[in-house]
Amino acid sequence: MKKLAIIGSGDLGKQIAHHSSSLNNIEIIGFFDDFIQKDTYVGKYKILGPIKLVGDLYEKSLFDYLIIGIGYKHILFRKKLYDKFINKIPFLSVIHPSSYIDKSAIIGNGVFIFPNCTIDMNSIIEDNVVLYNNCNISHDS
């Protein structure tokens, strides 16, 4: 079982938790969020604390993997967080089972692929990318 923590408990974070929790091999541990008080709940998942606690709680083995649930409105902050943690904590890529990923495609770290996406042959999805519902990435992209 992969223990996953999510940075951000807004709409994208909640969607990542929802879809990831339906997969048999992922357990959602909770959210890191600077704007919601520690130990409160967003849906059925606990706020683990502010982002500054990510490293400490990883060192205590509270979770095994991280993913960023901060969306396009804060894309520079999302990149900053990814760059901060990439060499310290493993990022999990989550692909919804209804999506088709060609065997020749390459999927980076910390990627979340929503339902019904198609990633065609020889495509590359780089690190820290979110593909929303029904995205189609054509061959050699």
Q: Using one digit for the tens of pLDDT, what is the confidence trace for 4-32?
A: 999 999 999 999 999 999 898 999 999 99
* pLDDT at res. 74: 93
**pLDDT tens track for 59-73:** 999 999 999 999 989
* pLDDT at res. 72: 87
Joined together, the tokens standing for residue 92 give: 């999990």
**pLDDT tens track for 29-59:** 999 999 999 999 999 999 999 999 999 999 9
Joined together, the tokens standing for residue 9 give: 């408990």
**pTM, two decimal places:** 0.96
